[in-house]
Structure 1
Amino acid sequence: MDIEVLLCLAHNGTHKVFRGLSSGYLVSPRGEGNTFEKMWRPLDYPKTIAQMASYKFLVSPRLGPYTQLVNYLRPACYRGLFETHITVKTDLQKDPHQIQKFKDLCTNIQVKPVLIELPNGVNPTQMMTASYSTGPIDEVLPGAYKLSQYFIKHDFDIQRTKIEAMCSTEGVPVTDQEALLLPHTNYFEFHIKVGLNPDQLAHMEQISSLCHEHNAHLSKNSFKVMLSGVEERFITLRIYKKGKANALEAFNRCVSAIQQKGYKILTTQREYSVFDSNVQLDSGWIEQTT
């Protein structure tokens, strides 16, 4: 059966209606939530909305209308190149084949699988996708939702849906004043990939101390294997409430310090997070007030 959801925005004597259609089944109550959520199982999904409570916004009949509303009210129209990350819940004790299943699903839709290992934090292991798309944000965001829904349909629990714009993307705030007008959950994120030789790996406290001086944070991609005893590490710098000009200054200072200490920089990445459904996923590694 189908359910149509209508959302009406009234302002200054005018109104605008946003519509969404959801197909699914009425089933016996499952999970915790209101009656509808416990009894509505969306088409092609293995669970009711109530059983997918932590990410129910991705499967709710309200998703379409509310996405249209957000795009209508959005204060900035981002347009350019974006990177999307879909993070899934990892429980290898429950399912030791989970990693291979995730890799196979990523191969099927031609996205890159990534397994991030953090030195600390509430969620030290984060398995996610990495993929790129171009266009305006109101086209990119629904694509990210569909990517999340793909993994839900294959029985993965979604922990985060995240979209990052490249720093050159139209709409990225340049000044601090512009940044403060945007959602407080937006932030600049810079990645510095370094190659560490065996001696540097044996003295990780040195690069850890360097990162601490610049409010940066270490991580690694466990899916990436290098030869000759060299290992990659990511140095991440996350900056809130700043425009591009000041954020890039902090990034450049960090890059210079890394080079001066003799570390080999392989690549750098400069991004601005325009949508992060669960910034608290990084608690204990990077805090939102950073």
Structure 2
Amino acid sequence: MRRYEIHLTVAAASEALPALAAARGMKYTHIQLDRGDHASQPMLSLLVAGTPASAEAEARRTAAELQAAGFPVARLKVEAAASEAGTLPGLYFEHHVKLSLPEETDLDAVRGLAVQHDAHLSRNARRVRVDGVRERFVTQRCHHADRPRAAAALAGLLDALTAAGWEVAEVEEEWVLVDDNPGLDAGWFG
């Protein structure tokens, strides 16, 4: 059975969201985009097993439950591992590169390099490290690309980041099956 990741972006942040997520076995993250019309994006995530259809049904059921609890969902995404792209219909590849940056890092330089690779910066607003290291995520999307082309784009991004001397802490490659509101990223992507 395949595993899928569901992301539900909630319309507005609330102090109640972390407890709600914990009670439902979900992960709460407050994503802060580097720029954009909707830079603050509180998100609940969960993993499910099954088929693409059952994962989407679970996502829609959970979104309806959140709506009924007073937390309207602004965006619903269902993702699979990038390796599934050859067997599952989807929309685009999405890569997340987590950087661990010294406090003095020029974020404009990171931003400029990311944009050269069709990528953009974000951070987890809830995670602040006491050692001064700043964690940033570089997100790259590859539309109308097959897996080799998307992998080449990611390799180019990783090469550029490491050549600039920035520490890559983690890399995640996903195949997005459902994204019901890509417009939420207006001004960040697009």
Determine the structure 2 residue equivalent to 1:245.
Answer: 148
Determine the structure 2 residue equivalent to 1:85.
Answer: 7
Give the letter aligned to residue 137 of structure 2: F
Cα distance in structure 1, aligned partners of 2:131 and 2:110: 20
Determine the structure 1 residue equivalent to 2:97.
Answer: 192
* TM-score normalised over the length of structure 1: 0.63
Give the letter aligned to residue 129 of structure 1: L
User: How many residues are treated as equivalent by the alignment?
Assistant: 190
- 1:100 pairs, out of 7, 15, 33, with 15
Conserved 8 A contact 1:167-1:270: yes
- 2:86 pairs, out of 173, 187, 192, with 173
Cα distance in structure 2, aligned partners of 1:160 and 1:265: 28
Structure with greater Cα Rg = 1
- C-alpha deviations, 1:178-212, integer Å up to 9, x for none? x9xx56xx111000000111111xx1111111112
Determine the structure 1 residue equivalent to 2:122.
Answer: 219
Conserved 8 A contact 1:133-1:140: yes
Give the letter aligned to residue 4 of structure 2: F
* TM-score normalised over the length of structure 2: 0.94
Determine the structure 1 residue equivalent to 2:66.
Answer: 151
Give the letter aligned to residue 124 of structure 1: A
User: SS of the counterpart of 1:199?
Assistant: coil
Structure 1: where are the runs of 5+ without partners?
A: 1-78, 91-97
User: SS of the counterpart of 2:97?
Assistant: strand
4+ aligned runs moved over 6 Å, structure 1: none
- 1:128 pairs, out of 22, 43, 50, with 43
Cα distance in structure 2, aligned partners of 1:244 and 1:81: 19
Cα distance in structure 2, aligned partners of 1:239 and 1:263: 22
Conserved 8 A contact 2:63-2:72: no
Q: How far off its partner does 1:132 sit? A: 1.5
Q: How far off its partner does 1:136 sit? A: 1.3
Q: How far off its partner does 1:227 sit? A: 2.4
Give the % identical residues: 27
Is 1:160 aligned to 2:82, yes or no?
A: no
Determine the structure 1 residue equivalent to 2:107.
Answer: 204
Determine the structure 2 residue equivalent to 1:59.
Answer: none
Is 1:272 aligned to 2:175, yes or no?
A: yes
Query: Taking CA–CA contacts closer than 8 Å with sequence separation of 6 or more, which of the two structures ends up with the larger relative contact order?
Result: 2
Cα distance in structure 2, aligned partners of 1:80 and 1:108: 25
Is 1:256 aligned to 2:171, yes or no?
A: no
Where is the strand percentage greater, Structure 1 or Structure 2?
Answer: 2
